[in-house]
Structure 1
Amino acid sequence: MNIMKPVGLKTFQEYATIVFLPYIKAQLANVKWLDIIWDVHRLDSLKSTTRVKLGKCVRRRVAATHSIPGNWQEFLRVDDNNTEFLAHQVMDNVPIEKEVYSTCGDHVLCFCVDRDVSTLAPCSHDTRKLLHDMDAVGKGYNQIMLRIVDTDVVVLAVSTVVLLENTQLWIVFGTGKHLRYIPAHQIATSLSAEKAHVLSMFHAFTGCNTASSFARKGKKTAFDSWKSFDAVTVFFARLVT
């Protein structure tokens, strides 16, 4: 929703029909399995403090005939602005011959009534995207693509792909001229399985949206230091465990 802005549209139904659903159907044209993962930011989450600091937000009930707010980015920052309407729109409109899953709050919607989703829901943590990747691998898929605009998820993907044997995990990152295709599996191989597995700990330790970075010491400097001291990998592994 950060990528697909409702330019010139008045209601959420228009947004679903003209912008959101065509995008989803375009993705389905080239894949057999699609997971749509919605962010859930909770009041007791460390991330919520960061979101509050971003400024005033717009609270708006999401329903078919309700008006789209003028400031889209402020609207997306509100925890209470749920996405259940769009999640149900997907289930009601995508081709039934495809395997499609959409999170809806803590739960998961899917076409297959007999499909066991107990390994996917209920769930509320930020690594939910990778949980769905592991589920797809468990069903025999070995080529996965993540469409994201979040640097944290790139790090998590590299850390997770070492757990997914014989899997190609591609990340479609950014928008417009900054769009990039990042092979998480190749990055993990170049780092080594041990370092890739603890990359998320390195990322948090050297600064992320819930942890401060070192003064005047960027991630490249920290990474160069890490390459010189193998004991750091052992230490990070203990923290991860």
Structure 2
Amino acid sequence: LFADEVNFDRDYLDEARRYYTNIVGKYGTQVTTLLKKASALDIKMICPLHGFVWRKDIGYYLNKYLHWASYTPEETGVVIAYASVYGNTENAAEILAVKLREKGIKTIMFDVSVTPASEIVAACFRYSHLVFASTTYNAGIFVCMEAFLSDLVAHNIQKRTVALIENGSWAPTSGGLMRKMLSACKDLTILDQTLTIRSSLKENQMDLLNQLADTIASTVPRPAAVSAAVPGAIDNGAMFKFS
């Protein structure tokens, strides 16, 4: 019944994020406005229609909502979502993931062909950097990636750094088309460098992949060696009163 009776972070936070981002992720401005109105209230308890009742650590949960509503990444890390037909695009994505992890950057991967879009949308709201890798299909984006990006754009994703990988045997076009789709989002930094693969990653392209990994890494903020407070962090109690 109560959130303080379970390990919420371990067992339920991912589902809470997935629910919020997919149901109301698009409406961050409206949610922020509502939270500002609620900040004038003395909040004793949160009793949601579904989920646990919050009677303790209310500021922690509201802090999550403030992050999600403002499209501020919760964590520094890279989400790599890929659409691959024969495994070659997946292979390039996996090599990039290894390169980033070797640099100490948290990186998670999703195959858009088999992973529910709701899980990937939630991860994109959670992490600071996104990589989309797609083969070219009928001179367009592979259908699963196109459907996912349409869903992500509809959820109004913002404040992320994005890198692109395209693949195509004859005329790779998916990179430019993905860039065009994502350009509809506000405050996205889409890296100029697009890694282009023709069928499979060649040995002489490893330098280009390394350059892409270096470029992504150069935009990932490094934690300060000693820090009493996280700059730009949302203060749990800045807007709300709790009893």
Q: Quick check: TM above 0.5?
A: no
- The structure in which a higher percent of residues are strand is 2
* TM-score where L is the length of structure 1: 0.26
* TM-score where L is the length of structure 2: 0.26
